Structure 1
Amino acid sequence: MQKKRIAIIGAGVAGMALAILARKQGHEVQVYERAATLTTMGAGVTLWPNAMYVLHKMGLAQQVIRAGGTPESLCQYDRSGNRQTTLDIGELNRHCGYASVTILRRDLIRILGEALAEQGVAIKFATSVTCKEVNSLRQANDLVVGADGRMQSVVRQMLFAEAGTPCYQGFINVIGVSKLRPGTLANHIGDFRHPTERFGIVPVRPDICYWAGAWRTSLDESRTQHDWLGELRQRFGGWAEAVQAVLKHPEPESVRPIFVHDLDPLPYWHQDNMVLIGDAAHASLPTSGQGACQALEDAWQLACLMSQRDPLSAVLSQFYRLRIEKTTMAQHVGRQLAQQLFSGQSDESATHSAMSLAQLSRLWMQGLDG
């Protein structure tokens, strides 16, 4: 394997995971991040077995499990708290061979950041890379990786211009982290639904959870955090006791409105020695449940391909061919579920997938060996 000079733009999940894996292979890696420090886009993340497979290969699975939680089931409720359906996560994990872990995003980012530092890779913070600077990086490196997110990816802009613009899907997620009273949801992810509205609660440890309230709205960035929190409490004021419990005392700095965008599937992710990964390549809606999972898969698959002796052009073409079907599926699933949730026309009980656990495990573990 020929050692490469790799420039990675973006220190999120995809960028840091690839940097760790590439450095372990002996490549020379430099990471550029526009923010002044490691940041967290989102309150928390569920790492399904396909993501934990990658973290196991990275040697980080046990750290992630210690920092997070291992939920037993995902329960769908109506807004009053009456259970509608249950997904047995423990059984799903047995089919897949790996755990499912819920974790605060700040803890996942911290673990990745510490692992990156252990590999001797320093992140160049407060560095906004422009199109001109990308071209300079392309001249100085064997590979330039755009892991620079769904909204403002400069690498995607260079590849597609306006054609790669994220699409607003018409709903907001107001997210946050709250202390959790022991026993509020036991060890179950709670998905509370009512036509056009949704509230999800994800326990991480017995005393803490992350959550999101979602509803359809126009894109209005003039309102303050306080405004959105007030509307959140008004909209969900009569909902189940668990919803009221987490809305009473959120961590103030964690509450954030996100106008949810995704991408249409792109016809390619690479050009010459430049490639997109993670949300920059295939941002899906949070309703897919697979955003961070697919970012980790990207890092793993690209690193595996780079370990071979194939020319870079062949590596990047094969990477796209290996990944496009699965990431497009995640994008489509996210949009379909969002349409069901926020159209107000679907039967709540019908929105849960009829797919068997064995089928779901095969779908999620597709493309991963073992």
Structure 2
Amino acid sequence: MYKLKVVIVGAGIGGLTTGIAMKQAGYQVEVYDRVTELRPAGAGISLWSNGVKVLNRLGLGERLAAIGGEMNAMEYRSHTDEQLSYVDLHPLFEQVGQRPYPVARADLQAMLLEKFGPENVHLGMPCVAVEQDDQSATAIFENGHRATGDLVIGADGVHSAVRAYVLGRSVSRRYARYVNWNGLVPAEAALCAQDRWVIYVGESKRASMMPVGGDRFYFFFGAPMVEGTQVDPAHRRDELADIFKGWPTAVQHLIEAIDPHSTNRLEIGDIDPLERLVRGRIALLGDSAHATTPTLGQGGCQAIEGAEVLTRYLLTTNISVSDALNRYEKARKDRTAELVLKARKRSSVIYGHEPSATQQWYRDLKQEPPESVINALAKVILTGPLG
């Protein structure tokens, strides 16, 4: 019996999850990545319940729970240490049927790689072009290697080489006008309750901690900044101490606790929603299709959702590969575009693009009932492919 052959460009969250789903569907799968060592960008990620449900279906539920943090509540505090809001997340778990898991990116990638099988991942293989005919699609690599299959999936990130072919044009990353610092620190009571996500906001900036596995907190800071600034890792603690001078004691403890050399400093950007995600036998998935700012915590989840939807359409139609990919595009394009634009708008509010809107948001945080927060989170989760 013929097995569909799938070539995936990119071994990040989206590429590996897609590889796992398609191997479980019985397909032949090869994954390629440009890097010589898989080192995830960023230290942590919040996997909300829509992403977790897909990983559960792929048989990863127990392992994900083991590496994930137990997050039972979220709390907003001001830069003067006033509690602005507190939301017990248990009603959310009951409404959507699954708790979220904040995880260290390295742990998540290692889990996905182990499940997929590292022997099927080819590293040091930058993709430079793709091509197709009526019967097959081919990814072409810098060293001249050609990987041909029934379809090619471009899960190769915000600077995707596959995307230029799908669209017939190049796409520029849009700077979101803020810098994000992130990393991992040991979980200590002086920083945050071990089952809580705490976000400090004020002065168009924010500082946050959330639990991940291994008795650690994933932390991030965000502050508006012009594009193109660079700070040597040795000076990143001093940079944060200056930007967040006068903020609450817990934030100062966090700054003291970080390892500046392992703290990431990222200029955050996104891409405009695309007019298409598919061209014939070639499809885009994850950041290559819908790179977003992290302000909704849905970037990784949307890549994971894409893996489930694309695999399902390949399994449930026997018309053609192109037909399945077109159905995938129809199911994913509007959902991902809406979340990219929603995250973009939220970033502009958080980081003071319109100061009056930011001040109003601070006031709204104090007045918004917890059930409104729960319902907003549930709406995003329940409109995912697994409900």
How far 1:162 sits from its partner (Å)? 5.1
How far 1:80 sits from its partner (Å)? 2.5
Per-residue Cα deviation, 1:175-209 (whole angstroms, up to 9, x for no partner): 11112213632121011101321111112258311
Contact 2:237 2:260 in 1 (8 A): no
Amino acid at match of 2:83: R
Amino acid at match of 1:137: A
Unaligned segments of structure 1, at least 5 residues: none
1:281 maps to 289
Q: How does 1:1-370 map to 2 (within 5 A)?
A: 3-117=3-117, 122-131=120-129, 136-137=138-139, 140-150=148-158, 152-160=159-167, 163-182=170-189, 184-186=191-193, 187-205=195-213, 207-308=215-316, 309-343=318-352, 344-345=355-356, 346=358, 347=360, 348-350=362-364, 355=372, 357-369=374-386
Whole-Å separation in 2 of the counterparts to 1:249 and 1:356: 31
Whole-Å separation in 1 of the counterparts to 2:40 and 2:374: 31
Contact 1:182 1:206 in 2 (8 A): no
Whole-Å separation in 1 of the counterparts to 2:153 and 2:247: 44
Whole-Å separation in 2 of the counterparts to 1:3 and 1:124: 20
Whole-Å separation in 2 of the counterparts to 1:189 and 1:310: 47
How far 1:356 sits from its partner (Å)? 5.1
Contact 2:309 2:328 in 1 (8 A): yes
How far 1:157 sits from its partner (Å)? 2.1
Whole-Å separation in 2 of the counterparts to 1:222 and 1:252: 14
RMSD: 2.2
Whole-Å separation in 2 of the counterparts to 1:77 and 1:203: 17
Whole-Å separation in 2 of the counterparts to 1:22 and 1:321: 20
Whole-Å separation in 1 of the counterparts to 2:213 and 2:123: 31
* 2:306 match: secondary structure: helix
2:144 maps to none
How far 1:250 sits from its partner (Å)? 1.7
Amino acid at match of 1:363: V
* 2:309 match: secondary structure: helix
Whole-Å separation in 2 of the counterparts to 1:87 and 1:52: 21
* 2:127 match: secondary structure: coil
Instruction: Output the TM-score relative to the length of structure 1.
Output: 0.93
Instruction: Output the TM-score relative to the length of structure 2.
Output: 0.89
How far 1:249 sits from its partner (Å)? 2.3
